[in-house]
Structure 1
Amino acid sequence: MLERELLSVGTMSAQVANHIGSRIVSGEFLPGAALPIESELCEYYGVSRTTVREAVKSLAGKRLVEVSPKVGTRVLPFAEWNLLDRDVLAWRLQTQFDGKIVEDIFEMRFCFEPRASFLAARDGTDDDLAQIEHHFRELAAAQLEGLPVKTTSEAALEFHLAIINASHNGLFVTIGSAVKSALRVSSEMLQRHTTRPSEDVALHEAVCLAIVGRRPAEAAKAMERLLAASRERLLPLTVDAA
């Protein structure tokens, strides 16, 4: 039954990795603990050794586990995890959706997105500004027309990435690429719980107009308001951190 269930939603190795990853992030397997041996995982999931090895390799790439010939596969400390990996973020949000995770994501975003907006307004090229305006129009249309969450969240992601790229700050652009998974996850969560699309559009429009109008200080403030409103919308949906 488990094998048929996994096959229905994706490749076997990906789904085994997804299940084990969720168990690690939820605390079922604590840091330093050994995962069940390969044969036990094969029996539990009803899959081949090759499938289990591919799943474990994927988790090792996310720095959730480390494989050693002498001690087997052990869970790494939290500090070692690749917290910007999309799957790791998703597992944390699914199993530990608490205020701390939301605060972590938005504290990171507050650190550089308002300044990126300032720089985009000041230093962005005409083509950069046209891209920002284009992605805003796509986002506004998706929200107001009630398009699927994935469509709307991707439009929001592209809007924010366009602003970061328009900053022409090499480090910001690198950070933007690195935190793309965090931006995507937060965008998906926000769009899933949007209750007043017109207000969201207005907040994004204020950022867009300030950047396109080349008003740097106003652009930074508008981004701060947008992020603050987004954070406040997500926090009530969280549970208290343990």
Structure 2
Amino acid sequence: MAGESVMLERELLPVGTMSAQVANHIGVRIVSGEFLPGTSLPIESELCQTYGVSRTTIREAVKSLAGKRLIEVSPKVGTRVLPFAEWNLLDRDVLAWRLQAQFDQKIVEDIFEMRLCFEPRASFLAARDGTAEDFGKIEHYFHELVAAYEQKLPIKATSESALGFHLAVINASHNGLFVTIGSAVKSALRVSSELLQQHAAQPNEDIALHDAVRTAILARRPSEAADAMTRLLAASRERMLPLTVDAAE
């Protein structure tokens, strides 16, 4: 990729749109390891030539990446890639880039370890503190998921229903931090959901696992809801891990 000219589509696109495209491209190159932590990005003029854009566009892209803590801009050392520990890993773009560039066992483990840390507790709180409106949304997405399976709708529709169900449970927790995390990791949840639906060999089992969560929450049985969500996530994790082997081959 280094030294390769990447002419981006510019017709009728404003600088902001172009800078986002450049930031996306450079972001993937960073998280994939092409630009290692501690090294410097190519100089501004070289990036302009590589992407076929103006200095203003490059500066906007660099500003965006700096805001995500992928890089640091210093007058003395230029634009330097920051260590992994400093990256804003909950940023939706950074998550999407990691999934695009590094879909391997490690990132799948990371995603499900994170989800297991807060989604069972969110289910507990949803059962304890959820409102009738919250329960209505959980019901809505559950029945939407069932209908998607029964009608054999496209994978994207099924995965969006599953995503809506999980976010409805998280929102029903009324824990502001959980809701913020759920919104931040939506891209990771969406990709996870789509991949799982592509390999949903046993739709009835998936429906049953979601139904157990729904039933416990609506019955206001917090501990059962937490346990049901743990079982759902564990089953999803076991279905997804083999996919990382397929992706690597």
Q: Does 2:98 match 1:95?
A: no
In the alignment, the residues of structure 2 paired with residue 111 and residue 86 of structure 1 have an alpha-carbon distance, to the nearest angstrom, of: 19
Please tell me whether the aligned partners of residues 95 and 185 of structure 2 are also in contact (alpha carbons under 8 angstroms). no
In the alignment, the residues of structure 2 paired with residue 19 and residue 174 of structure 1 have an alpha-carbon distance, to the nearest angstrom, of: 26
In the alignment, the residues of structure 2 paired with residue 119 and residue 133 of structure 1 have an alpha-carbon distance, to the nearest angstrom, of: 17
1:205 maps to which of 204, 211, 226: 211
Report the counterpart of residue 61 of structure 1 in structure 2. 67
Q: TM-score, normalised by structure 2?
A: 0.86
In the alignment, the residues of structure 1 paired with residue 147 and residue 122 of structure 2 have an alpha-carbon distance, to the nearest angstrom, of: 24
Please tell me whether the aligned partners of residues 118 and 216 of structure 1 are also in contact (alpha carbons under 8 angstroms). yes
Report the counterpart of residue 3 of structure 1 in structure 2. 7
Report the counterpart of residue 152 of structure 2 in structure 1. 146
Q: Which moved more, 1:215-224 or 1:191-200?
A: 191-200
Judged with a 3 Å threshold, the aligned counterparts in structure 2 of structure 1 residues 14 and 151 are, in CA distance, closer, same or farther, namely farther
Match of 1:34, as an amino acid?
A: S
Figure out how many residues of one structure are paired with residues of the other and give that number.
241
Please tell me whether the aligned partners of residues 41 and 80 of structure 2 are also in contact (alpha carbons under 8 angstroms). yes
In the alignment, the residues of structure 1 paired with residue 54 and residue 62 of structure 2 have an alpha-carbon distance, to the nearest angstrom, of: 13
Please tell me whether the aligned partners of residues 145 and 158 of structure 2 are also in contact (alpha carbons under 8 angstroms). yes
5+ long unaligned stretches in structure 1:
none
Matches within 5 A, 1:72-87: 72-87=78-93
In the alignment, the residues of structure 2 paired with residue 225 and residue 6 of structure 1 have an alpha-carbon distance, to the nearest angstrom, of: 48
In the alignment, the residues of structure 1 paired with residue 197 and residue 12 of structure 2 have an alpha-carbon distance, to the nearest angstrom, of: 26
Return structure 1 stretches of 4+ with deviation > 6 angstroms.
6-10
Report the counterpart of residue 123 of structure 2 in structure 1. 117
Q: CA deviation at 1:76?
A: 0.6
Report the counterpart of residue 155 of structure 1 in structure 2. 161
Q: TM-score, normalised by structure 1?
A: 0.88
In the alignment, the residues of structure 2 paired with residue 8 and residue 156 of structure 1 have an alpha-carbon distance, to the nearest angstrom, of: 36
Report the counterpart of residue 221 of structure 1 in structure 2. 227
